[in-house]
């Protein structure tokens, strides 16, 4: 690459070759001063809407005429779609690195291998999240016994988790813009590790355990919102988001069995959380490798929304969006029903159906297994029926099955119906996320999916708390009618979601 040096603050690179493989006759680039950064800065050329990154060699009289390498830090998976003109920036301007998400950068495409790595890392992270969440219901009887507390008191764990979700809803979008999308994902995994260390280290203070659940709640809601936002940008998002949340269900299926096997052999319940730590470390490593260079989500050129919106503008647009709030409330009701079953079904089986601890843990696991299988297998059927219609059909089936589980006084019928309810409601989360991907402009995705996921996950704290309080006064049998009411409310909320075109993927 040849370089022609001009006097003054700007350099002219003749015959420059972009990192995208596109030759240009002449690219005018500035020499930028990056305070405190020793690595060569990224020099980038930009049209009004499109961005390409250039690499070259330039000199500047202010630095003694010495040749300075200017290398592109952006991976080669970016591609250009048009001729580009220059961004003119004075040479004495101090600029942050990497460029902020609202600086007009447009990520167009990533390599297939990198996309697969990021998807695999997300799968691993969601499996761990399911592993952590699925075990709570199996451990609740032992937590109650260890600390000598009631249903209402142990339900404070759900409150702590709920507060964590609310904190995540407030900070996730801003965090992703400030430090970069991939760095925000990695930070969330570190926070999750801290929470698991707290939960695994003691069973003396219930208040400290609640704080550990609060920390994990922040981490999980942040990961979930960012992973949902990333998967909404993929080809065939309904399919892949279904697989993502199906893997969450598989983690939630396996953990109650392991947790029950450990505590029934006399192992203190807090030791179970060391298995979370064992998975947290490799999750962080693979997440860092996969996402460390992803500073902002890909943006389609023809998509609605102003990519130049400020951070505050995107956040306030999200708060004012009817679609975001309707889907968020739908998810809160859905997750509330799911976690009310998963969190209290073990206690329900033990006290109402008089089952054994092992049998009760199998009922909880079968419920999550139904969720996992459904999220992987049913999206293709949903595409044929249409996501909107499919949700209404599954809701009718789920309500009928839940009524059977409630009124038939047999352990076997309760177990079978509970597993089938998990299968029936399994795709509701992915249907809401993919519908949101079509209704919500891409520049709002980080904030919108963080808000939807956090408000949705708050249902996993709020509704199990309500069940716990009612169970203290009325008995654990209130689980089933509460779930029926939540399913009916989901139907009303889904009817209020704006209609979108059917997918043909």
Q: Is the pLDDT of residue 179 over 70?
A: yes
Instruction: Answer yes or no: is 236 within a domain.
Output: yes
Give yes or no: residues 360 and 325 share one domain: yes
Query: Which is higher by pLDDT, 409 or 309?
Result: 409
Q: Is the pLDDT of residue 202 over 90?
A: no
Q: How confident is the model at residue 324 (pLDDT cuts 50, 70, 90)?
A: confident
Domain boundary among 109, 126, 145: 109
List residues bridging with 234 in a β-sheet.
Answer: none
> Which pLDDT value is given to residue 119?
93
Tell me what the mean pLDDT of segment 473-477 comes to: 87
Instruction: Answer yes or no: is 503 within a domain.
Output: no
Q: Is the pLDDT of residue 111 over 70?
A: yes
Tell me what the mean pLDDT of segment 484-493 comes to: 94
Give yes or no: residues 359 and 432 share one domain: yes
> Which pLDDT value is given to residue 494?
93
Q: Is the pLDDT of residue 401 over 50?
A: yes
pLDDT digits (tens, 9 = 90+) for 329-366: 999 999 999 988 988 888 899 888 888 888 888 898 88
Instruction: Answer yes or no: is 465 within a domain.
Output: yes
Tell me what the mean pLDDT of segment 109-115 comes to: 82
Give yes or no: residues 55 and 97 share one domain: yes
Give yes or no: residues 198 and 99 share one domain: no
Domain containing residue 376 = 112-294+314-496
> Which pLDDT value is given to residue 502?
53
| Residue 17 burial (10 A CB sphere; 0-12, 13-18, 19+) | middle
Instruction: Answer yes or no: is 172 within a domain.
Output: yes
Tell me which of 100-109, 209-218, 243-252 is least confident: 100-109
Q: Are 75 and 118 in contact (CB under 8 A)?
A: no
> Which pLDDT value is given to residue 320?
77
Give yes or no: residues 209 and 261 share one domain: yes
Q: Are 330 and 493 in contact (CB under 8 A)?
A: yes
Give yes or no: residues 364 and 284 share one domain: yes
> Which pLDDT value is given to residue 105?
43
Q: How many CA atoms lie within 13 A of 33 on its CB side?
A: 10
Give yes or no: residues 271 and 237 share one domain: yes
> Which pLDDT value is given to residue 191?
95
> Which pLDDT value is given to residue 23?
38
Give yes or no: residues 136 and 96 share one domain: no
Q: DSSP string of 188-210?
A: HHHHHHHHHHHHHH-SS-HHHHH
Query: Which is higher by pLDDT, 79 or 221?
Result: 221
pLDDT digits (tens, 9 = 90+) for 249-301: 889 888 988 998 899 888 999 999 999 999 999 999 999 999 988 888 765 44
- Other C-beta atoms closer than 10 Å to the C-beta of 394 total 24
- Other C-beta atoms closer than 10 Å to the C-beta of 121 total 22
> Which pLDDT value is given to residue 239?
80
> Which pLDDT value is given to residue 454?
75
> Which pLDDT value is given to residue 11?
38
Q: Is the pLDDT of residue 158 over 70?
A: yes
Give yes or no: residues 91 and 119 share one domain: no
- For 261: left if phi > 0, alpha if psi spans -120 to 50, otherwise beta; the answer is alpha
Q: How far is CA 170 from the centre of its chain?
A: 14
Give yes or no: residues 102 and 146 share one domain: no
Percent over 90 (pLDDT), the chain: 29
Instruction: Answer yes or no: is 302 within a domain.
Output: no
Domain boundary among 109, 125, 143: 109
Q: Is the pLDDT of residue 483 over 90?
A: yes
Percent over 70 (pLDDT), the chain: 73
> Which pLDDT value is given to residue 421?
95
> Which pLDDT value is given to residue 298?
62
Whole-angstrom Cα Rg for the chain:
25
Q: DSSP string of 89-137?
A: --TT-B--SSPPTTSS-------HHHHHHHHHHHHHHHHHHHHHHHHHH
Tell me what the mean pLDDT of segment 404-412 comes to: 90
Q: Is the pLDDT of residue 318 over 60?
A: yes
pLDDT digits (tens, 9 = 90+) for 234-253: 888 778 888 888 898 889 88
Tell me what the mean pLDDT of segment 444-464 comes to: 79
Q: Is the pLDDT of residue 182 over 80?
A: yes
* Average pLDDT along the chain: 76
Q: Are 436 and 223 in contact (CB under 8 A)?
A: no
Residue linked to tokens 């000199």: 59
Q: Is the pLDDT of residue 309 over 50?
A: no
Query: Which is higher by pLDDT, 165 or 98?
Result: 165
Give yes or no: residues 477 and 331 share one domain: yes
Give yes or no: residues 411 and 460 share one domain: yes
> Which pLDDT value is given to residue 89?
39
Instruction: Answer yes or no: is 185 within a domain.
Output: yes
Domain boundary among 109, 138, 162: 109
Instruction: Answer yes or no: is 309 within a domain.
Output: no
CATH of the domain at 179: 1.20.1250.20
Instruction: Answer yes or no: is 380 within a domain.
Output: yes
What is the chain's length?
Answer: 505
Structural domains counted in the chain:
2
Which is nearest to 471 in space by CA: 339, 347, 336, 346? 347
pLDDT digits (tens, 9 = 90+) for 25-64: 333 333 333 333 343 333 333 333 333 333 333 333 333 4
pLDDT digits (tens, 9 = 90+) for 362-394: 898 889 889 888 888 888 888 888 888 999 999
**Which of 102-106, 125-129, 464-468 shows the highest mean pLDDT?**
125-129
């Amino acid at each position: 690459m040849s370089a022609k040096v001009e006097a003054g603050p700007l350099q002219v690179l003749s015959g420059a070759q972009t990192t995208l493989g596109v030759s240009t006759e002449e690219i005018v680039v500035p020499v930028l001063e990056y305070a405190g950064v020793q690595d060569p800065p990224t020099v980038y050329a930009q049209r009004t809407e499109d961005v390409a990154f250039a690499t070259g060699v330039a000199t500047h009289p202010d630095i003694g005429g010495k040749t300075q390498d200017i290398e592109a830090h952006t991976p080669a998976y970016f591609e250009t779609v048009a001729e580009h003109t220059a961004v003119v920036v004075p040479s004495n301007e101090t600029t942050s690195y990497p460029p902020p998400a609202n600086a007009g950068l447009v990520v167009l495409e990533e390599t297939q291998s990198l996309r697969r790595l990021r998807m695999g890392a997300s799968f691993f992270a969601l499996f761990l999240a399911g592993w952590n969440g699925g075990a709570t219901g199996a451990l609740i009887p032992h937590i109650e016994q260890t600390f000598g507390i009631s249903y209402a008191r142990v339900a404070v764990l759900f409150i702590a988790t709920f507060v964590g979700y609310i904190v995540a809803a407030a900070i996730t979008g801003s965090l992703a813009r400030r430090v970069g999308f991939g760095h925000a994902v990695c930070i969330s995994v570190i926070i999750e590790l801290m929470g698991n260390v707290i939960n695994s280290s003691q069973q003396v203070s219930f208040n400290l355990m609640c704080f550990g659940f609060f920390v994990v709640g922040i981490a999980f809601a942040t990961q979930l919102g960012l992973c949902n936002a990333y998967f909404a940008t993929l080809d065939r998002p309904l399919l892949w988001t279904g697989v993502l949340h199906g893997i969450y269900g598989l983690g939630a299926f396996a953990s109650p069995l392991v947790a029950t096997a450990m505590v029934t052999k006399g192992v203190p319940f807090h030791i179970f959380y060391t298995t979370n730590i064992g998975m947290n470390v490799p999750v962080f490593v693979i997440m860092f490798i996969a996402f460390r260079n992803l500073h902002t989500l890909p943006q389609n050129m023809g998509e609605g929304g102003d990519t130049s919106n400020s951070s505050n503008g995107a956040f306030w647009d999200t708060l004012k969006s009817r679609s975001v709030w309707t889907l968020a409330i739908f998810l809160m009701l859905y997750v509330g029903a799911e976690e009310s079953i998963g969190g209290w079904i073990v206690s329900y089986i033990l006290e109402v159906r008089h089952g054994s601890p092992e049998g009760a843990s199998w009922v909880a696991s079968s419920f999550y297994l139904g969720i996992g299988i459904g999220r992987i297998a049913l999206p293709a059927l949903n595409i044929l029926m249409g996501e909107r219609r499919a949700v209404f059909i599954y809701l009718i089936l789920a309500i009928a099955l839940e009524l059977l589980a409630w009124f038939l006084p047999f352990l076997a019928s309760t177990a079978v119906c509970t597993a089938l309810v998990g299968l029936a409601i399994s795709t509701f989360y992915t249907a809401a996320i993919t519908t949101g991907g079509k209704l919500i402009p891409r520049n709002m995705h980080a904030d919108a999916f963080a808000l939807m996921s956090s408000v949705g996950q708050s249902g996993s704290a709020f509704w199990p708390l309500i069940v716990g309080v009612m169970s203290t006064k009325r008995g654990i049998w209130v689980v089933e009618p509460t779930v029926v009411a939540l399913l009916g409310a989901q139907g009303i909320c889904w009817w209020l979601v704006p209609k979108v075109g059917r997918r043909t993927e």
